[in-house]
Structure 1
Amino acid sequence: MSGLFDLAGRTAVVTGARRGIGRAMAVALAAAGADIIGVSATLESSGSAVEHEVRALGRRFVGIACDFADRGAVVALGERLAGDPVDILVNNAGTILRAPAAEHPLEWFDRVVEINLASQFVLTQAVGRGMIERGGGKVIFTASLLTFQGGVTVPGYAAAKSGIGGLTKALANEWSPLGVNVNAIAPGYIATDNTQALREDENRSSAILSRIPAGRWGRPDDLAGATVFLASAASDYVDGVVLPVDGGWLGR
């Protein structure tokens, strides 16, 4: 049974790998045997914390910096990665900007949608072509609870993450018959930089915790098992799924 989760000999690209959820995903995949290409806007080409963790597990690591708000840079990244046999693509790069919808700057909306949705398709299209040609591959998007809900003061983020749910299903419909599994993970409220403002707001933090049956904020490492599952042979018959890892939030 353990062989179902063995990623030895696989190469995984993880975007947003410098910290938080992406870093935890990269380390989890490395622990399962995969070599890692980490990508983030400010990722060091060498010497990063995630590189040290991956190499400590005996796996290879390549670090690439890419601004996902820059369409040209993402296209260039896709062309670069298209030359390598990428087995697993984890689309985790993202951002969030908070302001009430009536005053939400249009440039904020555009930036969030570009980073969290459009760039995800641009990169997946480029890498996915190689997976289709080889007849196999795993694509994992990072969705959100706001793939299912609307949120408050984050219209761009909610729109983009809802779009990720639709994109996951659309690509799965086309690529599953070609041997490429496309799925998504929807993290709950995880203690990362993106949720720092919520955790520091005593009222919001208390309201959030009161709804989580698990009784705590999630940790980036809580995403490890779902990531390895969706990247491995254990999920070969799983397609178009948005898998919540949320401490029970959506079931409340």
Structure 2
Amino acid sequence: MGYADLFRLDGRRVAVVGGASGIGREAARALAAHGAEVLVADRDSQGAEETARLAAGETPAPGSRTGPVSVDVLDVLDEAAARQTASGWGALDGLVVTVGANVRKRIADYTLSDFDRVLALNLRAYLTLVQTTVPAMAERGGGSVVGLASMRAFQVEAGQSVYAASKAGLVQLLRTAAAEWGPRGVRFNAVAPGVVRTPLTDQIAADPQWYEAYAQASALRRWAGPEEIAGAVAYLVSDASTFVTGSVLTVDGGWTAVDGRYEPSV
């Protein structure tokens, strides 16, 4: 066993869907730094191009290719459209999906339109992307799929109903996929971040009291940067995790361990 090479991804082609910013961007950079050829897929073509430029600068292997492709996952929610999109990606060894949406409203105020939008991005998009990329991985004998869940799959708060439900559903979707494709060598895992400073958390960051309350709720007493989630993604794509499937890797600064509790003087 060449342990020094466990995290190397030389010769592997990985698509990062939602790679134009935030966790997706940093995941693409981390994968490229370990030698992967990264396909940066996002509807924000300028952001995807910038990510591809940054990722190319991380790549230590001469000749390794990293590039952007324009894709809006809301346009590939049916299988035919998704298959047409994925067919242009070529053979993949890994798929990382980081797209997501959150509409913060109490249940009584939620509209069906809100519900459909969150479920479309957070769950249905994963289904169609898996359906159209994983069979080819299985034909070649293996691959790794990583989805971005959330600590909200396990811990909730007011206003997070549909988001939390979608992330819990994603965990179960990936675990079921692990059972179905495991015999053919394809692994499926979820990363469950805590509070991470990305565009998805702009609403919280704009409120100093809310922002600080979230910072203090974890064991580390701070927010994460998106680059702190990238290592978990790289690990799950790499051979360092060849016996890891159907799992959830929680990267939340200890939030779920301490449960955001007040610490009394005892």
Change in 2 beyond 3 A, CA 1:181/1:17: same
SS at match of 1:69: helix
Change in 2 beyond 3 A, CA 1:200/1:151: same
- Which residue does 1:4 correspond to in 2? 6
2: CA distance between counterparts of 1:54 and 1:65? 17
Is 1:76 paired with 2:81?
Answer: yes
2: CA distance between counterparts of 1:43 and 1:96? 22
Q: Show the 5 A alignment for 1:113-132.
A: 113-132=119-138
Letter in structure 2 aligned against 1:215: R
- Which residue does 1:218 correspond to in 2? 224
2: CA distance between counterparts of 1:96 and 1:154? 8
C-alpha deviation, 1:67, in angstroms: 1.9
- Which residue does 2:102 correspond to in 1? 96
Q: Show the 5 A alignment for 1:22-41.
A: 22-41=24-43
C-alpha deviation, 1:52, in angstroms: 1.1
2: CA distance between counterparts of 1:213 and 1:72? 38
Query: Mind listing any 5+ residue stretches in structure 2 that lack a counterpart?
Result: 259-266
Alpha-carbon displacement from aligned partner over 1:172-216 (angstroms, at most 9, x marks no partner): 111112101110100110011111211222232222122111121
Q: How many equivalent residue pairs?
A: 251
Is 1:133 paired with 2:139?
Answer: yes
Instruction: Determine if contact 1:44/1:65 at 8 Å carries over to the other structure.
Output: no
Larger-gyration structure (1/2):
2
Structure 2 residue aligned with 1:63, among 62, 68, 77? Answer: 68
SS at match of 1:44: helix
Structure 2 residue aligned with 1:145, among 147, 151, 165? Answer: 151
2: CA distance between counterparts of 1:233 and 1:25? 16
- Between 1:16-25 and 1:223-232, the stretch displaced more is 223-232
2: CA distance between counterparts of 1:67 and 1:208? 31
2: CA distance between counterparts of 1:49 and 1:136? 30
2: CA distance between counterparts of 1:128 and 1:73? 16
Is 1:20 paired with 2:22?
Answer: yes
Instruction: Determine if contact 1:109/1:155 at 8 Å carries over to the other structure.
Output: no
2: CA distance between counterparts of 1:189 and 1:67? 25
2: CA distance between counterparts of 1:123 and 1:250? 29
Q: CA RMSD in A?
A: 1.7
Alpha-carbon displacement from aligned partner over 1:21-67 (angstroms, at most 9, x marks no partner): 00000000000100111111222397x22011112134422322222
Instruction: Determine if contact 1:67/1:74 at 8 Å carries over to the other structure.
Output: no
C-alpha deviation, 1:82, in angstroms: 4.0
C-alpha deviation, 1:249, in angstroms: 0.6
- Between 1:57-66 and 1:172-181, the stretch displaced more is 57-66
C-alpha deviation, 1:101, in angstroms: 1.4
Change in 2 beyond 3 A, CA 1:191/1:72: closer
- Which residue does 2:262 correspond to in 1? none
Alpha-carbon displacement from aligned partner over 1:84-137 (angstroms, at most 9, x marks no partner): 110010011111122221111210110110111001110111100001111100
2: CA distance between counterparts of 1:22 and 1:173? 26
Stretches of 4+ aligned residues off by more than 4 angstroms: 72-75
Instruction: Determine if contact 2:19/2:41 at 8 Å carries over to the other structure.
Output: yes
Query: Mind listing any 5+ residue stretches in structure 1 that lack a counterpart?
Result: none
SS at match of 2:44: coil
TM-score under structure 1 length normalisation = 0.94
2: CA distance between counterparts of 1:74 and 1:45? 26
Letter in structure 2 aligned against 1:55: A
